[in-house]
Amino acid sequence: MNFDFTEDQEQIRRSVREFAEGEIAPHVREWDEQQKFPVELVPKLAEQGFMGVIFPEEYGGAGMGYVEYVSIIEELSRVDGSVGISVAAHNSLCSNHIYMFGTEEQKQKFLVPLARGEKLGAWGLTEPGAGSDASGTRTTATRREGGWVVNGAKNFITHAINGDTCVAMASTDRPMRSKGITAFIFEKGMKGFAPGKKEDKLGLRASETASIVLEDCFVPDGNQLGAEGLGFIQSMKILDGGRISIADLALGIAQGAYESAVRYSKERQQFGKPISEFQAIQFKLADMATQIDAARLLTYRAAAMKDAGRKTTKESSMAKLFASEISVKVSEEAIQIHGGYGYTKDYPPEKYWRDSKLCTIGEGTSEIQRLIIAKQILSSV
């Protein structure tokens, strides 16, 4: 067992930190307040290879593994979770669905520009009536000559407005429920494919979340992703990887909140000394550091297993569940350590706390993660 990063991995982490501090940190507050998705950042992320981290170079990617991917999302989210979730949704949901289940032709046509960051990806599983129960997909795809006609709606979709390529699930056989769902690739500009309402969110406000409306949208056969009826099972496999990235998102947010609390506790004086000298504050910091470390170990274990080609359903859910729950706790404690100032927008913890909450909801709520973990445990004994 080896808990050390290689020199290359350390170098990647350092360079992501430098990038995040230089290119993202100065704008975090403005983007959050304006709820502005920073499209201008995408080419800079692409230049660093962050838009195609986990894909081979032959498909325009950076050819890295999940361990490197985790450290990139963690470092970006330490500065701004909105950027972290954008990179995560683009890589491990949309692009990875095409990488894992697309034909060679689809990979060349759709994955290469996504992995190079020339196009932005979105992924649509959730619907107004189908959230935790994704098998309840009501969007329908009906056979027509040369393709399908899709009708329905997807909601809470990251990059629904600025995304160029969207992998979305539709039912091709409603009575079959989960076994009747098929994945399709939609492209910006297709007739009948349009963004709907943009959400006004609690946190991750610079990340774009909106619905997608599908009205008699014709999708050619060439855009069907994998065989008919396999869209649901493909999605569950995609989420096994995606949940590792939500764990990293949570981890990065917790790390950022913790660092701001440590800094502040050394600066803030009360009763004639820095508050870091009070045991009550020291115990909070000790608990926060321990929780972050435990979340990091779970997350990197899941990533290392993924790199080793192992099934990670249980480990991804454990990492996602634990990291997201502690991220909310750690960022709340960071507010407490900042006292009244933590309740204002002059200090970073309130934003970390708002951002952290998504991690207990997106890509399956904490309740759903517990159901998955329990199912995995009980089916293995």
Catalytic sites, residue numbers:
363
d(CA 254, CA 375): 28
Q: In the complex with ligand FAD, which residue's Cβ is closer, 337 or 368?
A: 368
Look-up of token digits 């859910």: 317
Q: In the complex with ligand FAD, which residue's Cβ is closer, 54 or 281?
A: 54
- Smallest separation, CB 256 to ligand FAD (Å): 18
Nearest to 320 by CA among 216, 253, 229, 246: 246
- Smallest separation, CB 100 to ligand FAD (Å): 16
Q: In the complex with ligand FAD, which residue's Cβ is closer, 304 or 371?
A: 371
- Smallest separation, CB 158 to ligand FAD (Å): 4
| Shortest-Cβ-distance residue relative to ligand FAD | 131
As beta bridge partners, residue 224 has 184
Helix (H, G, I), strand (E, B) or coil at 1: coil
**In degrees rounded to 5, what are phi and psi of residue 2?**
-130, 120
Task: Say if strands 209-220 and 193-198 run parallel, antiparallel, or are unpaired.
Answer: antiparallel
Q: In the complex with ligand FAD, which residue's Cβ is closer, 296 or 354?
A: 354
**CA distances, 344 to each of 133, 179, 211, 330, 347 (Å):** 37, 49, 31, 17, 6
d(CA 287, CA 309): 33
- Smallest separation, CB 121 to ligand FAD (Å): 10
Helix (H, G, I), strand (E, B) or coil at 212: strand
Residue ranges that bind ligand FAD, judged by CB under 6 A: 89, 123-126, 131-132, 156-158, 201, 204, 209, 358, 361-365, 367-368, 371
**CA distances, 84 to each of 70, 80, 132, 246, 359 (Å):** 10, 7, 23, 9, 11
- Smallest separation, CB 293 to ligand FAD (Å): 27
As beta bridge partners, residue 181 has 171
- Smallest separation, CB 160 to ligand FAD (Å): 8
Q: In the complex with ligand FAD, which residue's Cβ is closer, 208 or 333?
A: 208
Q: In the complex with ligand FAD, which residue's Cβ is closer, 226 or 342?
A: 226
What's the angle, vertex CA 340, arms to CA 339 and CA 341, rounded to 5?
Answer: 90
Amino acid (one-letter) located at 195: P
Look-up of token digits 């940190």: 25
